[in-house]
Amino acid sequence: MKEIIISENDEGRRLDKYLRTLLCNCGPSFIYKMLRKKNIVLNDLKASGKELLGKGDSIKLYFANDTYEKFTKRSLNVIRPDTQMPPVIYEDEDIMIVDKPSGMLSQRSKETDISLNEICLSYMYQKKDPTEGSEEVFVPSICNRLDRNTSGLVTFAKTYRGARALSEAFRNRTVHKYYECIVEGRIDEDIRLAGSLVKDEKTNKVSVSSDMSGDYIETHIHPIKPGDKLSRLEILLITGKTHQIRAHLASIGHPILGDNKYGNRSVNEQYRRSFGIDSQMLACCRLEFPEDFDITGVAGKTISIDAPVSFGEVM
């Protein structure tokens, strides 16, 4: 028999979702069967799996030790110690906000990838006190993604409480995400863009239309430094869809400099030769958290970074 006492890190989770993470090598049908047969009990009582866990709750699993180990064994994919951790801009016990460099994946697309998610996990495990308990099953993870070649602020949930707060805030759009970019042409007034985003899965490219046949998108533009050839903009992302900012700006004739997928390749090549620009000049530079954000340490705060130095050089 194995007993697990729920810690603060896992309180609030549904029992069945907790068990599916803990027993990562079992299917959900097996877990529900074990609940029905009382081979898994919550506080010594039969459970359905829908119960919400509280700190101090007891889960008992009537498995042999080798069976338990077989069902729970997982690969942590810890990165080697010499892998450089991007700058940590903010950190508390629940969340972390890091400055992702251009060229780094937010999350891996295949097993062999090393992404920001794995690097942050390795950073956490290397800091972890080895005397702490190991029965917490929540797997820390990033909560907002940036394209590989977009730099800037990415949030990372260290606890289930942090993940729940960030997910709810991003879903309800109460965390305001501001980007800076450099685009072709002159934009000298605020613009509100709205439309419909349609994705082509074969090319991993999106297009913007006004017929509302796809996902609704909304992007607010504020010029920081207008110019005749290039303009530096601040973007408030209202919705957050794949390639939204890049496609939206390209759709009005102002593609982001360095963006070969949606932009002007000949212009991009000119700036690559002159300034070494080899990716889109787009960075998430500011996150504004609401006063009622569940994580009190960051509630009401603005977390910001400077845009890359190349932005000023190119302008």
Q: Rounded CA gap, 96 and 162, in Å?
A: 9
Per-residue confidence (pLDDT) for residue 135, from 0 to 100:
52
Instruction: Please compute the mean of the pLDDT values over residues 9-13 and round it to a whole number.
Output: 82
In sequence order, what are the residues at sequence separation of 6 or more whose Cβ sits closer than 8 angstroms to the Cβ of residue 202? none
- Summarize the confidence of residues 256-267 as an average pLDDT: 95
Q: What is the mean pLDDT of residues 227-254?
A: 94
Q: What is the distance between the alpha carbons of residues 160 and 169, in angstroms, rounded to a whole number? A: 14
Q: What percentage of the chain has pLDDT greater than the value 70? A: 94
Domains of the chain: 2-72 (3.10.290.10), 88-172 (3.30.2350.10), 176-314 (3.30.2350.10)
Q: 258, 278 in Cβ contact below 8 A?
A: yes
Rounded to whole angstroms, what are the CA distances from 252 to 86, 245, 265?
34, 11, 17
What residues form DSSP beta bridges with 303? 287
169-219 pLDDT tens trace: 999 999 999 999 999 999 999 999 998 998 888 888 898 887 777 889 999
* Residue 277 pLDDT exceeds 70: yes
At residue 129, the pLDDT reads: 55
For the segment 59-108, what is each residue's pLDDT rounded down to a tens digit? 999 998 888 888 887 655 555 555 688 999 999 989 999 999 999 999 88
Place of tokens 């501001």: 178
pLDDT in tens, 33-67: 999 999 999 999 999 999 999 989 999 999 988 88
Strands (E), the chain: 2-5, 40-42, 58-61, 88-91, 95-100, 141-142, 151-157, 176-184, 191-200, 205-209, 215-225, 230-237, 282-288, 302-304
